[in-house]
Amino acid sequence: MKNLPKVELHLHLEGAAPPAFIRGLAQEKNIDISEIFDENGGYKYRDFNHFLSVYEAACTTLTGPEEFRRLTAAVLEESSEQGVLYGETFLSPDFCGGGDLGAWREYLAAIQEAADASAAAGGTELRGIITPIRHFGPEAAKPAAKCAVETVGDFITGFGIAGAEDAGEPRDFAYVFDMAREAGLHLTAHAGEWRGPDHIRDTLRDLRVARLGHGVLAANDPVLVDELAESGVMLEICPGSNVFLGVYDKLSDHPIDMFVEKGVKVSVSTDDPPFFHTTMTKEYQDLADTFGWDAARFRDMNIDAMNAAFCDAATRDRMIAKLKEN
Ligand code: ADE
Ligand code: ZN
């Protein structure tokens, strides 16, 4: 499984930070965040909302562009090791200079330096999706969107939204999604991880996204499942995250296989891998063990993922050619 080529469209950069990396930075900077670690050195949290606050506490150690360069290099090293050919990561200006455009440009340059190094070494090729944090509110999303609009290009290709799904309604963020769309950014939004079909419909109507982060609770409405299949909206599914956070009790309860059967486009990602004790290889192995997915199924899924990827046509074609080699 490790050597199987993979495409990962849903990864939070800070959420991919190994706990030892964050602990090391905390020590370097004399920041006391010992309460976010368990006795084995892993991240410790009670539930999804607590996970979000532990995540934000971990981010306080990422104090400048150099920390983000090191983080991106570490994350891409792991992605390359896991066989990820192409990846997209969520980047939040809120954690990179607090939405200040000048600061954001410096953070972005550092992140891109690590991304360029990975690509040049034949490792994972990365693109960035700028992602305001929903529970920071619609006003805080505006400077983040401005950062996105000002830095759209070969690397920053997408715009999304993450954070607590129950904070406000999709229409509260229509303004920033309109800004991003006007600037030519591709759009995705977390929805249907915690809130059901109505929230997914509102997201599709008000934010006009091409992909949904998670989207799994669409499974509760067969009409919506058919609509997703018809429209080709891709679900960025993170099965291990959903099971670890308790959206489903076990992988065999997860609707991913049903979505495939019904013709909904899906891709597989890790979300925040060390928080959920997962890797891309583990995700693939678990799907093979639970649903009998074989190499051909993974290849077809990854071709679908590349067709929904937020990249230029030449990169898409090059990646699809590599996937077809296998
Ligand atoms: N931020 C990091 N991981 C997230 C998730 N699974 N859902 C929403 N926001 C997130
Ligand atoms: Zn996510």
Summarize pLDDT for 239-296 with one digit per residue, the tens.
999 999 999 999 999 999 999 999 999 999 999 999 999 999 999 999 999 999 999 9
Q: Which helix (H) or strand (E) holds 126?
A: strand 125-130
Atom 6 of ligand 1, residue of closest alpha carbon: 271
CB 196 within 8 Å of CB 215: no
Indicate if 39 belongs to the active site. Answer: no
Question: Which residue stretches of the chain are H helix?
Answer: 19-29, 48-59, 65-81, 101-120, 138-151, 174-182, 197-207, 222-231, 239-244, 256-261, 280-291, 295-307, 313-325
Q: Which of 10, 12, 47, 241 to mutate to test the pocket of ligand 1 (most atoms within 8 A of CB)?
A: 12
Q: Considering every ligand atom shown, identify the ligand nearest to the alpha carbon of residue 51 and give its number.
A: 1
CATH superfamily of 6-17+64-325: Metal-dependent hydrolases (3.20.20.140)
User: How far apart (Å, rounded) are the C-alpha atoms in residues 133 and 116?
Assistant: 26
Ligand 1 centroid to Cα of residue 162, in Å, is 6
Atom 9 of ligand 1, residue of closest alpha carbon: 163
Per-residue pLDDT of the chain (326 residues; tens, 9 = 90+): 889 999 999 999 999 999 999 999 999 999 999 999 999 999 999 999 999 999 999 999 999 999 999 999 999 999 999 999 999 999 999 999 999 999 999 999 999 999 999 999 999 999 999 999 999 999 999 999 999 999 999 999 999 999 999 999 999 999 999 999 999 999 999 999 999 999 999 999 999 999 999 999 999 999 999 999 999 999 999 999 999 999 999 999 999 999 999 999 999 999 999 999 999 999 999 999 999 999 999 999 999 999 999 999 999 999 999 999 97
Neighbours of ion ligand 2 (CB under 5 A): 271
Q: Which amino acid type is present at position 259?
A: F
Ligand 1 centroid to Cα of residue 251, in Å, is 19
List the structure tokens of 261: 């059967």
Segments making up each domain of the chain, as ranges:
6-17+64-325, 18-61
User: How far apart (Å, rounded) are the C-alpha atoms in residues 186 and 95?
Assistant: 21
The reply to whether the predicted model has a pTM over 0.95 is: yes
Protein residues whose CB sits closer than 6 Å to any atom of ligand 1: 12, 15, 55, 162-163, 190, 193, 241, 271-272
Catalytic residue among 193, 230, 236, 283: 193
Pairing of strands 266-268, 234-237: parallel
The ligand 1 atom nearest the CA atom of 162: 9
The ligand 1 atom nearest the CA atom of 241: 6
Q: What are the C-alpha distances in Å from 225 to residues 190, 258, 262, 264?
A: 17, 10, 7, 7
Ligand 2 centroid to Cα of residue 280, in Å, is 14
